[in-house]
Amino acid sequence: MVRVKVMAAALTGLLAVSTLAGCGGGGDSGSGGGKDDGKLVLGFSQVGAESGWRTANTKSIQDAAAAAGYELKFSDAQGKQEKQIEAIRSFITQKVDVIAFSPVVTSGWDSVLKDAKDAGIPVILTDRAVDSQDKSLYKTFLGSDFVKEGKEAGDWLVKQNEGKTDPVNVVELQGTVGAAPAIDRQKGFAEAIKANPNIKIVKSQSGNFTRAEGKTVMEGILQSTPDIDVLYAHNDDMGLGAIEAIEAAGKKPGKDIQIITVDAVKDGMQALADGKINFIVECSPLLGPQLMDLAKKVKAGETVDPRILTEETTFTQEQAKAALPDRKY
Ligand code: GYE
């Protein structure tokens, strides 16, 4: 039965559907899926593999599912909403116990979420929000407060420029267009700087949360915008790509151009410790254990908190040096 399910999923075009055997699970393909042996079956649709954050998030979910002894049906949407909708529909057909997903963009989910609800399958949003007005379409949303992250990035910049009136020209590298973290990190930052008219966003463009696009977009901006004081990138990867472009243009990242990013993955923290980034707002990808706990509760019909926030902090260069040796991702 497991094999049939995997094959059916592969035929419908789902990539990377993996079934993780639980501790001591026999791997007997004839023994049926999770429902038969009491194992919780969790369908998870991931955004893709666009960043170091995402890679750490995927690992956290896969490790936590294995540790909990769940059957995880993992599907990678490669950044495409259609693929996520297809994966969720396939999870509904397979009658999984719980569906969790990290929505690529905020809008366009009502219809598939309604189908899951009608099928009696609880849905958990992880990491990113949807803009559905009907909150009964999902049980809870586990993830960070992205507006707060943007605000913390802006607050740091305002503090650096306290008492100064010189113009501060900021370039913003936005995340994926329409994604919750891109919308909210832009909003929070704009709010934080708005009382300081000398701090201006002179260019704001999407780098799609990837290192490659962060680099190419920054190359273009460096040519069109001669006077850049600060780069605010919505994630470390875009910031790291931009650093390559800045160095290639003969400028010193962290000095000629101050750099603020979000995530605090190892590569970002290393660049911060090396003085190439000036400030990072943390966003934890380690959502796996909390997600497994929530899945068990919603399967059992328990009421859970509709919004569960992850804890996060911020890092200066000195703090990054101290934190790096113990960094988990
Ligand atoms: O910051 C970025 C990733 O949704 C919080 O997505 C996540 C963001 C993260 O691509 O690196």
Q: What is the pTM of this model?
A: 0.89
For residues 136-154, give the mean pLDDT.
98
Please check the confidence at residue 119 and state whether its pLDDT lies above 80: yes
- Ligand 1: list residues with CB < 6 Å: 50-51, 53-54, 127-128, 181, 209, 235, 237, 262-263, 283
CATH architecture classification, 146-283: 3-Layer(aba) Sandwich (3.40)
Q: Residue ranges of the alpha helices (H) in the chain? A: 2-11, 34-37, 52-68, 81-93, 110-118, 146-160, 180-193, 211-224, 236-248, 266-273, 288-299, 317-323
CA 25 to chain centre: 31
Q: Which numbered atom of ligand 1 lies nearest the CA of 262?
A: 1
**Predicted pLDDT at 36:** 56
Q: Which numbered atom of ligand 1 lies nearest the CA of 235?
A: 11
DSSP symbols for 21-45 = --TT----TTS--HHHHT--EEEEE
Q: How does pLDDT run across 124-138, given as a tens digit for each residue?
A: 999 999 999 999 999
Q: Which numbered atom of ligand 1 lies nearest the CA of 237?
A: 11
Please check the confidence at residue 32 and state whether its pLDDT lies above 60: no
**Predicted pLDDT at 126:** 98
Structural fold of domain 41-144+285-311: Rossmann fold (3.40.50)
Q: Which numbered atom of ligand 1 lies nearest the CA of 128?
A: 4
Dist. CA 135 → ligand 1 center (Å): 23
Ligand 1 pocket, mutate which of 235, 237, 269, 329 (most atoms under 8 A from CB): 235
Dist. CA 246 → ligand 1 center (Å): 23
Please check the confidence at residue 213 and state whether its pLDDT lies above 90: yes
**Predicted pLDDT at 13:** 39
Dist. CA 37 → ligand 1 center (Å): 35
In the chain, where the domains are located: 41-144+285-311, 146-283
Q: How many CB atoms lie within 10 A of CB 31?
A: 12
Q: Do domains 41-144+285-311 and 146-283 have the same CATH topology?
A: yes
Ligand 1 pocket, mutate which of 45, 53, 145 (most atoms under 8 A from CB): 53
For residues 213-231, give the mean pLDDT.
97
Mean pLDDT of the chain: 91
Dist. CA 311 → ligand 1 center (Å): 15
DSSP symbols for 292-322 = HHHHHHHHTT----SEEEPP--EEEHHHHHH
Q: How confident is the model at residue 30 (pLDDT cuts 50, 70, 90)?
A: very low
